[in-house]
Amino acid sequence: MSWTDERIDTLRTMWEAGQTASQIAEALGGVSRNAVIGKAHRLGLQARPSPVKANEPAAAPAAEPVVAAAPPPPPAPEPEPEPSPFVAEDEPDAEVEAEPAKAREPQPILRSVGPGGFVR
């Protein structure tokens, strides 16, 4: 499919009439929607507004005047906590003897064997 002068004229008239790229592609036949969009871009046809964006920004509602509230009173200082009395223990109640550590059972030694049977 090639873009002949007749097909380009049809594209221009349908584009300016507000037809979608899909509708134009269907009317021309043999072209995709993206081909129509690309040709319109190369011809410098007027870009379409995005359907996602609003044409005009919404007017912001008028803000109500803010009434200044009275500042809260400063918080009362907290009293300092009194240190708790320190009691030292004279002697431990009973000395506990530690049990001797148990001897470990012999464990197998794990070694990596590389290619060719070499021990690493």
For 23, other C-beta atoms within 10 Å of its C-beta total 14
> Which of 102, 112, 29 lies closest to 14 in space, CA to CA?
29
> Which of 48, 52, 53 lies closest to 17 in space, CA to CA?
48
Domain extent listing, the chain: 5-43
What integer best gives the mean pLDDT of the chain?
81
Which of helix, strand or coil describes residue 51? Answer: coil
* Segment 17-49, tens digit of pLDDT: 988 999 999 999 889 999 999 999 999 988 876
Mean pLDDT on 82-104: 74
pTM across the whole model = 0.42
Q: Please tell me the predicted confidence (pLDDT) of residue 113.
A: 80
Cα separation, 59 vs 57, whole angstroms: 6
Residue 113 pairs with which residues in a beta bridge? Answer: 119
- Give residue 77's pLDDT band: very low, low, confident or very high (50, 70, 90): confident
